[in-house]
Structures are given as structure tokens and as C-alpha cells.
Amino acid sequence: MQGAIHTALALAVLIAAAVLPGCTEVPGPEETEEFNRTVSVEPGSGLAVVNRNGGVNVSAWEEDYVAVTAVKRTVYGRTELAKVGIEVTEGDPLRIETVHTGMNVRASVDYTILLPSGVVLQRVESSNGPIELSGVRTAGTELRTSNGPVVVNGAPSGDIAAVSSNGGIALRGVEGYVTAKTSNGGITVEDCGGVAGLQTSNGPISAEISAVRGDVTVSSSNGGIALRFAEGLNARVVATTSNGRVAVHDLPLRVGESTGTSVTGSLGDGGPTITVTTSNGGIDLSGL
């Protein structure tokens, strides 16, 4: 009898826990909380953003201060939102960071940041979520997310290095040199100042090669590669695929060797080597 009573009591406790308001073990309606802050900054100063879980969107505007909007999100109750803090540390660089104040936090933060055109974005990190830039000034800027795409539409005056563990990378209108690396996703490069290296483990690559300043590798473990070379580019090109064909068209490439699955040749006066490789897919080389 006593065992039966204990069993009944335990079952009653479980049922009560499941129906009590605020229970956070079962996902429910999304709860949100918004954070807003403006910060005065000096022209030429820098910005760094570190997010733990969520997206980061940074774009330029005409005002002379930084505007930060952060939206916390969770489906596990408002107590989870209280475990997430937004820290804004003034200085050069200005630092915006997501801070977890509790254990096993089940909440994300999405940032929207408006940046004066004279401020340099130095770095953006996110553990899980997309990174998007528009018209932001860069200078050796690092963009890194562990799970999500990286998209840049316009970045005056500097280089960008973009990394994603799982997501596509699209870089357009970057005035400097670009580097892109992802473990799983495609890479697109258009209207950029130059290419320093492109690599994906699984996905296609489509890129305009306007300039190089040293040897460059463009590689995919599984996907086709299409490169369009600028007129007047001086470089040596070595393209190889394990399973596919290498095609050259509308390109003044002086071919030294061609086997169908590989092509070696020179553009202009030759120069740094652009090595293009894929394990499974075709390679298309053409002019801009």
C-alpha cells in the first residue's frame, strides 16, 4: 500500500509540474524582449560584435552615432530571457556582446546595428545565426558564424575574411580583397577588389577574380566552380577536377597543358598561381 501511495504522489508531482504556469521544459509560445541603446562614436573608430546565439545585421546610415537594437527570443518561458544580458562597452573599439548569466540558456538574440559611415567594423562573431552587412566600412574585418550564412552587400575601403561552419557565403561590392571559407554551402563573389582564397567542403563556387596579390586557392570538395577573370589580369592558372570537365571560353588563356579534367595556362604576363580544384564537379573558366 505504501508503495502505491508513493507512486501516486510521484505521478501527481509530475502532472503538476507539467501544468504549472511558467514551466520551461516544454516549448511554448515565443517570448521576446527588446534592448535599445545609442552610443556616440568618433569617426575612424572601430566596432566589434560578439553574439552567442542568433543573427547580426549591420548597415551604414547617415547619423553620427551607433544605434543598437537587440531582440531576445525564447520558447521556454521568460525566465530564460533573464539569463541573457546585452553589454555595450564604450571605447575604441566599441564592443557589443551577448552575455549569458545562467546555465543552459535556451534563448537567442538578433541584433540590428546602424553604423556611421566613418566607423570601421572590425569583427562580428555569432555561434548560431546569419551575419549580414550593408554599406559598412571594413578593414581586415573578420566575419565568423558557426551555423548560418554570411551576406555582404557593399563594403567600402577594406578586406573581409568570412567563415561559416555551415552556411553559404555571398560577398558583393567589397572594395578590398576577400577570403571565404565554409564547411557546407556555396560561395559567391561579385564586384570585389580581389580574391585571397575561397574554400568550401560541400557546395558550388561562383566568383569574379578581378585581382590577386599572391598565390590563391579556390577549392570545393563537392561542387562545381565557375570563375570569371578580369581583363588584364596577370596570373598562372592550374585547374583540376577529379570527376568532371574543365572548360575554357572567352578567356585569353595561353594553355600549356590540357587533359579534359585539368588545364594549366597563363593570363597576361603570368604571375601568382591561381589553383582551382574540386573533387566532384566541373570547372568553368571565362572572362568578365
pLDDT of residue 14: 41
> Residue range 76-90: average pLDDT?
97
Band (16; pLDDT cuts 50, 70, 90) = very low
Average pLDDT of the residues of the chain:
92
| Count of CB atoms situated within 10 Å of the CB of 46 | 18
Q: CA separation (Å) from 211 to 123, 174, 176? A: 24, 13, 10
Cis peptide bond N-terminal to 93, omega within 30: yes
* Pick from 20-24, 29-33, 146-150, 235-239: least confident: 20-24
Pairing of strands 84-89, 94-100: antiparallel
* Helices and strands in the chain, H and E counts: 2, 25
pLDDT digits (tens, 9 = 90+) for 143-169: 999 999 999 999 998 999 999 989 999
Q: What tens digit of pLDDT does each residue of 165-189 get?
A: 899 999 999 999 999 999 999 999 9
- Which grid coordinates are listed for 92? 575604441
